[in-house]
Amino acid sequence: MPMNFRFLLPCAALLPLMACGESVGAPVVAATPAVVAPTAVAAPAAGAAMKPDDPRIALAAKIPGTKPGDLRPTPVAGIYELVHDADLSYVTADAKYVFSGDLYQITAHGDFPDLSEVRRQELRRAKLAAVPESDMLIFGPADAKHTITVFTDVDCPWCRKLHAQIADYNRLGIRVRYLFFPRSGPDTESWYKAEAVWCAKDRNKALTLAKLDKPIEMKRCPGAPVARDYELGRQLGVTGTPGIVLETGELLPGYLAPRELLAHINDGLKAAKQSN
């Protein structure tokens, strides 16, 4: 195979995404994968009983902490996908080798869909579907054309910029569901602010005030979902804020202006439709 073959693989579409990472307010230029719809790989039905001779049983026994259900066959003979939260690695059938990286499919159409990213999107959708909307802060009507889920940090400048334009997103048909992701971690000021927002009588108003750097009542209450949201974000691969998850399960690791976000959503839906 020619050495320059790797340059034929589909490069991630570079978007000018701005995010708050470990350094407060530090902008980064991030890449986001294009939405693709490759040929699906048949997977065992959810809840289906596993046959005693299923090779995943013996394979899982050789990998500490792994259950047979964490493994699923790939299109490559002798290679299994190993799921950890919403991330993937691959293991050989003899359990002698494990490797990470994305698995691309070479099609007759000359494109190279990223099977790994499509699977990650599927896993993100499933995990977010398990979170009731009553445990989120929602801005926008239920009948909006598009819904995004945003992992937000009250003190992140780019999260504040996004929230300052919330009416613009809504006018474009984008409904915003917020989950908390204080980048500084537990027992920090940003964490306590997130808890105070949740414990406020009017949570949406409190969030808006906090993002405007205006004072809110710093109270705590049982059942605040900050820790759960934070852990979920880490499982989904959120490393900076705002972490935007589209309905497809695609993760955008940073801020996009309202019209740019709508264009990206529409482009992804168009690409998916054309590939079907």
Judge whether 244 and 236 are in contact, CB under 8 Å: no
Active site residue 85: no
Judge whether 193 and 181 are in contact, CB under 8 Å: no
Catalytic residue selected from 20, 120, 124, 159: 159
Angstrom distances, CA of residue 55 to CA of 23, 68, 69, 93: 45, 9, 11, 8
Catalytic residue selected from 56, 160, 175, 183: 183
Residue partners of 5: CB distance under 8 A and separation at least 6: none
Written as six digits, the tokens of 267 are: 């482009």
Look up residue 237 and give its amino acid.
G
Catalytic residue selected from 20, 56, 119, 153: 153
Query: Rounded CA gap, 148 and 151, in Å?
Result: 10
Q: How close are the terminal C-alpha atoms of the chain, in Å?
A: 29
Active site residue 20: no
Active site residue 70: no
Catalytic residue selected from 156, 160, 175, 229: 156
Cis peptide before 258 (omega within 30 of 0): no
Active site residue 135: no
Q: Which residues are catalytic?
A: 153, 156, 159, 183
